[in-house]
A and B are shown apart, each in its own frame.
Chain A
Amino acid sequence: MTVPFLRVEDLSVSFPTEDGVVTAVDGVSFTVERGKTLAIVGESGSGKSVTSQALMGLVNKRNARVEGQAWVGDNELISATDDELRKLRGSVMSMIFQDPFASLHPFYRIGAQLAEAARVHRDLSKADARQEVLTMLGKVGIPNPERRIDDYPHQLSGGMRQRVMIAMALINGPSLLIADEPTTALDVTVQAQIMELLDELQDQYNTAIILITHDLGVVADVADEVAVMYAGRLVERGTLEDIFYSPQMPYTVGLLSSVPRLDAVSDRLTPIAGQPPSLIRLPAGCVFQPRCAAAHLVPDDRCAHERPDLLSVSSTHAVRCLLDLEARERFAAESLAAVVGGTEEQHERIPPSRAQDLVKHFPITKGAIRKKTVGTVSAVNSVNLGVSAGETLGLVGESGCGKSTAGRTLLKLLEPTAGKVFYDGRDITGLSRKDMVPLRRELQMIFQDPYSSLNPRHTVGGIISAPYEVQGIEPVGGVKRAVQETMERVGLNPEHYNRYPNEFSGGQRQRIGIARAVTLRPKVVVCDEPVSALDVSIQAQVINLLQDLQDEFGIAYIFVAHDLSVVRQMSHRVAVMYLGSIVEITDRHSLYASPLHPYTHALMSAVPVPDPRLEATRERIVLQGDLPSPINLPSGCVFHTRCFRAQEKCRHDIPQLLEFAPGHQVACHFPIVESLGHDLILGPDSGIVELEAPEVQPPSEVIADVESAGSSRPEGIDYAADPNFSEGEW
């Protein structure tokens, strides 16, 4: 048997703190072969990043204890001196970090930074290094490397910067690449580009990759082997198939069943209860026991007292669990069976909140006093949308598409540049801030970042009771009681009334934000990426909470998110936005079954699905390039610069949002009407709206067909042009 390229044996990292020793990594062992990818999966605090930092020698040994061994080829990393490590870093092993905005030096040109990386390890002349940098930039897919090489990092988009980071990591042809959440900060279409690039480069360089991620979809897409970490321990390890199709550890099972999925809709997600444990006060037995749904299946409460070992199930698969094999498999099968298709309810269509031809431009000004307008960011262009009571409208798109701006303008947190905003049949566009105050109790907002959305200097009680104070409402039984009832309703302990936000975890903080938004029983709530900052197991808890609150109080949600899977789970109808315009809007089943707009297609195919077998068969449409700047919108169809179906017409004519099937509108000259006959991702499924599409024809003829169909359409279907549509249709 050959020795694996990377061997990690019994790696432990602990940090002594004032309150006790934090064991961030505890006895982790794994191996990776060249050309293979090991994915380390876990939530924040699980020790996955510390593991990789320990391997790279980036853990400060002055305040941490690192034990164990790690071999890369013949080099032992843990006992290596700083000098030895410095020689290895960047040449034999290198690392890609999560945030491409923070990891490039803003003062140096990217070419200089890359050349520096090459010349540190190799004796290259300046000219040779530059040549090499150019080649490398080409390899990572930077267009016009000759022009880009002298750019500064801020001149590049996020995706481009991550490509530069990858180029820097690979410039010396390392045999081991550690990628720490390399695509988390990127949009999904860019993520698809980067993952594809990593895959290509891995083949080319025969690199061993350790991919650290929380996204099971990404894992299913690229990993060969998977290690699941929880509270610093490796709790399960196996091949991709082992982990996804016969998960053994209840934690892995919980993760798989709590992820909202693009390829399935269940009425309710099954979250993992509770919070990850404190690394200082770990449970005495199995670290997962307090949250484990299967712990009661083990007799004598053994899980609470006994630390399980990592035991092999097969030659490739090992798990740390006290359940016997049969019980584990039964538990897994039952839990995962719950992830099945759900039902669709019809909602009455009386939209309390509605936007008509909404336009929001942000002027770019110059000069301190005169404020001359030198340009305009067109964040939202002529958007029509509405949401009914008890309904969720998903607003989905990549960052910079204007979805958050649209949501905020609908609440009049931003003044629309043009167009109208209605609430409860009333035009609220012109209302002053003062006149809006009474309406604010019915229009609320839930924010993305649970850290920035709560004032750190106010108690939880103060934060949730602020709306009462501002509105001057004195509920029966007093504010405190009302607030505590709401706290209880959203799953917070009412006794924590006087605590400060910093004492709560991200998920609990988001519950505080939700409590603040719903405590006055609003009619419409705009949720701006409410779960994107949360860990997977917590995400599901919050999504369920939002759905329960909607059922109970009939709240209309406008759910702004970039994650198509979360949107699918939450929404009744979905609007897809691109560069400030809605390109497609319909109910979620039609959208996910038969998206008409090429952008929707690309977006959906870019989302990796946590199912390796499905992932292997999926065709991915990788969009080229980045989102164009909203300062200079492309002419004609805004999507034509990246569209794989773009024709001459798209460059000149702006497509209108037209109804192609009942309730299904799309703004495209050449929508994808070839009927797939089944869900794009799911496969054949019941209850899916079939399009009355023509017989399958070669694409060019289909296009001609649609064009003629479009021109012969009766006037009334053109929503934007029809003056009668505005009331009631939404």
Chain B
Amino acid sequence: MTEKGFQVTVIGSDKILTCQKDEPLLVALARQGYLKVPVGCRQGGCGVCKIRIVEGEFETGKMSVKHVSDAERKINYTLACKTFPKSDLAITTKI
């Protein structure tokens, strides 16, 4: 983590994005104008910001199991609004 926060790479995009410690990933993406991950309820309930973490450590808040099943969680599917990076991340929006 640099002063600018954790680096977030979106697979297939050349944009270098950052996410602050304790900042929801979705908020960081929207703040930097990256709009391919839609902003929905921001609360883990509606599922529109579903992504997959390809590389890196992260924590999650509560999310609706309808949108991210237990099996999907094990292979790093998550909702960006409830995802908090703990290292630099590589993510994909192709799910």
- Whether chains A and B associate is no
On B, residues with C-beta under 8 Å from A are: none
On A, residues with C-beta under 8 Å from B are: none
